[in-house]
Amino acid sequence: MVIICRNKKKLFFFAPALILLFLSVIACHKDFSQVKAYKAPAPPLIVWPEPPETARIKFINSVSNPLDFKIKPGLLKRFIDYIAGKTIHSIVSPYGVETDSNGNLYVVDTYLKIVHVFNGKQKEYYAFPKSKTKFSLPIDLAIDNKKGRIFVTDSQQGVVKIFNNNGKKYTGEIGKGVFERPTGIAINEKTSELLVVDTLSSNVFRYSLDTLGLKGIFGRNGTGSGKLHYPTNIFTRKDGTIIISDSLNFRIQIFSSNGTFQRAFGSAGDNPGYFTRPKGVASDSEGNIYVVDNLFDNVQIFDQQNRLLMAFGSHGNKPGEFWLPTGIFIDKNDRIYVADSYNKRIQIFQYLKTKPKKAEDSDE
């Protein structure tokens, strides 16, 4: 319906009333009111192992959109977005996940071809890149907290894209003509290096964080110790130790900070302690290694002697359950972030340390 007002003065007089009426209608609309009144439900208490055993892993929360991260747009922005037909930005197909030193959560979305950024402290959400550059198939990311840079692998373009200012400014790329299919990526703070896993060539490339020049390559295709066969994910410890998911060798390999082989564990199988499709890897503050298995739909935890300690998660869509999980990240506080791909969410857990602090050791 089109209303034509030939008298501009009448239109000016009635405009405020029409706007107020329209806002009232919109506020009463089901979808809009749901966004306005949304409150995330309290997460259930879920731990592994179950009582009476001592809990080691605790479920904290899951994040699918900004509302789950307690980020809610203001009334004016909700109104503008509603008029424009915009919806809440939800995660669709997460893979790489990481947090920066300020606690911001970054999630690579392979379907939407963006990186979601959740800033819980400032209650802000945004995604990058905007328009200057686009991803074809982003996989993983690494954050250089010292210089404020974010590196994102684009498997299809065969490059690593570089951003500054928390992803808001694109500054360039590396690896053109060098990488075949870059996937996993990590910062080695011990050596000031950027490590890039190339799944197709079965190599790991070492770049200087200072010059972004190539320093070396290790891995190579094969089945022997130190050789890789379609590796995918990578994680570095504070001491520089490098952990790699050697996917089609169905094992995890550990290297020194300069890429020298140290040890390996795992083989193909469907029993606990074996792997079917190992993906994300990470390590907690006690040196335990976490391995995401894409087909087991769980995370297995191994100690530094390669012994299986426990596993958490199972197939499903409830809290603490996974469906085709991919990436994993553990921050300095032993908070665990798992990309639950098919369930379109990031699940957050807490590792409960085995050695509680003694009262006499505390000054508090």
Instruction: Output the pLDDT for position 68.
Output: 86
Q: Which structural domains are found in the chain, ordered by start?
A: 42-354 (2.120.10.30)
Above pLDDT 70, what percent of the chain?
A: 80
Which of 102, 72, 179 has its CA nearest to residue 136? Answer: 179
Where on the phi/psi map is residue 266: left (φ > 0), alpha (ψ -120 to 50), or beta? left
Task: Decide if 303 contacts 309 (C-beta within 8 A).
Answer: yes
Q: Whole-prediction pTM value?
A: 0.85
> pLDDT tens across 61-117, in order?
999 999 987 776 555 455 455 454 455 689 999 999 999 999 999 999 999 999 999
Look at 215 and 85; give whichever has higher pLDDT: 215
Which of 171, 170, 210, 183 has its CA nearest to residue 194? Answer: 210
Question: What's at 4, amino acid-wise?
Answer: I
Question: Rounded to an integer, what distance in angstroms lies between the CA atom of residue 39 and that of residue 63?
Answer: 13
Instruction: Output the pLDDT for position 87.
Output: 55
Residue 38 clears pLDDT 80, i.e. is over it: no
Instruction: Output the pLDDT for position 19.
Output: 53
Mean pLDDT of the chain: 87
Window from 43-52, 78-87, 205-214, 220-229 with minimum mean pLDDT: 78-87
Residue 33 clears pLDDT 60, i.e. is over it: no
> pLDDT tens across 146-194, in order?
999 999 999 999 999 999 999 999 999 999 999 999 999 999 999 999 9
Question: Rounded to an integer, what distance in angstroms lies between the CA atom of residue 282 and that of residue 99?
Answer: 13
Instruction: Output the pLDDT for position 362.
Output: 41
Instruction: Output the pLDDT for position 120.
Output: 82
Question: Rounded to an integer, what distance in angstroms lies between the CA atom of residue 312 and that of residue 299?
Answer: 5
Residue 3 clears pLDDT 50, i.e. is over it: no
